[in-house]
Structure 1
């Protein structure tokens, strides 16, 4: 399996203890161990920082991201963000979805791991954590 991009909502599902938190935890555990190579955008990290109100949970999240063997954090610069805004306008998509797509495309990601159906129909497939887990079990 090559590089995957993990969208913000996968982390949120786990952090907020939602109904699919367990599969998200299993996926992120494989990434943490370096068994899966993944990227998360710095934009997503900032979104998580803004959403999490519990300082201890935030510190734990940041440490987990920082010390994860298989997770890379990609930071966009202003030139890229201008290009993303243009693409967003042309595609009729939100800036945040366009940013995730742009980074996935730029880095040659195999897929975008997300629960957000806005990614459906793009030339990079959207998959849910359970699909990645199924594929890793078959290896």
Structure 2
């Protein structure tokens, strides 16, 4: 994360001094570990040690996910970007990816589904007697 990005993000982070042991790793280092894991798509155990232990990185991610910190940060960053005119809120819907439910495929809506004439003729038993052989 660049210094400019950190300067924008740091004021949005939760502040609060908890009693107990002081943190070993700075928040910036742990957030970089979270970003690395998200970009790489690897398991948490594969987070490089330079970002802190994977348990610490994961613990911060989950704690902030549970208490809504990530959502708050995203909302604040979006609000700033929108105020700066960096976001265009135009929406475009491409119909090639809109999927309909299977029941919207032209099935009958009322009554019992009747079998088609072809399906009815295919399922009828064929005659196998002497009359059937003579006709063949």
- TM tier, smaller: under 0.3
Higher normalized contact order (CA 8 Å, seq sep 6+, divided by chain length): 1
Higher strand share: 1
Larger radius of gyration: 2
| TM, length-normalised to structure 2 | 0.25
